[in-house]
Amino acid sequence: MKEYIKKLKVLGDETRVRILRLLASVDWLYVCEIVETLELPFYSISRHLKELENANLIEQKREGKFIRYFLNKNESFNSKIIDLLTSIKSNSFDVDDERLKKVVANRDSLNCKLSSKDKKERV
Amino acid sequence: MKEYIKKLKVLGDETRVRILRLLASVDWLYVCEIVETLELPFYSISRHLKELENANLIEQKREGKFIRYFLNKNESFNSKIIDLLTSIKSNSFDVDDERLKKVVANRDSLNCKLSSKDKKERV
DNA sequence: TTATCATTTGTATATTAGTGCAAATAAACA
DNA sequence: TGTTTATTTGCACTAATATACAAATGATAA
């Protein structure tokens, strides 16, 4: 499929848009931080991240036990997409932003084990 | 579904992106002109137009036997989407633009019957 | 080496979307 | 009125996506 359609197709999902917006507001995030922020199961976030990566919208880098994800800023079309997405105003984004702030602030005491357990119970 | 996701979702299809680009380059088009330009079956174009309309990206207006479609320019998010799409460079768009030029030039002698027959035979 | 933690993946199932034909509308015209 | 033309729609079929669980992988630490 054409590269640009692949990118556009991947935008048609709220979780993926939320992930892209998170990554647009900080340099990078661990998978578990995204899980924590969006309150969705690990495997769900993982699959969405893979789709975003297949569309070359994001990239990853392993850091020991953790994996960092960050925006791929090497393509001008990507930047235009991010501009479009960050222009959207929505309640759920505000909530995400709030939670992200806390998660990043507590990065030192990061403990993915607890939060992912949390998630399972809450669902 | 949230309005903005509905719009983004609808962009994940090449035919719909091609339709939006056509409509961005002229004031309006008859359905049969889009069929003629994109060389796709009538029913396929019709269905895609309906999806674009459901997402409030385009509007229609009947003119006698024909129906005109045109961009909905009343939402700023729509304009941003159109800007994004028109920034894409692609061979197939060039071909569309060429054909559209001819179709619009021959608008006076418009004859949808012939061209849609054409389509069926070519497929 | 075993245990633990972060993340991904295989498989199964459910849901949604795309494709194509033929029939249905809606307007115009003979 | 019946016919033709432009467009939409119902239905059947196939293909793509989403969702969930459990098991697998890859890294670290005990």
Q: Does B14 touch chain A (CB under 8 A)?
A: yes
Exposure string (b/e) for B34-52, b if CB count within 10 Å is 16 or more?
A: bbbbbebebeebeebbebb
Nearest CA in chain B to A87: B77
What is the H or E stretch that residue A32 is in? helix A31-38
Q: Does B114 touch chain A (CB under 8 A)?
A: no
| pLDDT tens column, A43-76 | 999 999 999 999 999 999 999 999 999 999 999 9
Q: What's the sign of the alpha-carbon dihedral A11, A14, A20, A21?
A: positive
- Is-above-0.85 flag for pTM? yes
| pLDDT tens column, B30-63 | 999 999 999 999 999 999 999 999 999 999 999 9
B30 touches strand D (CB under 7 A): yes
pLDDT of residue A107: 86
Q: Which nucleotides of D are covered by protein (CB under 7 A)?
A: 4-10, 17-23, 26-28
Long-range contacts of A103-106 (CB under 8 A, 24+ apart): A103/A33, A103/A36, A103/A37, A104/A26, A104/A29, A104/A33
Give the separation between CA A52 and CA A19, rounded to whole angstroms: 9
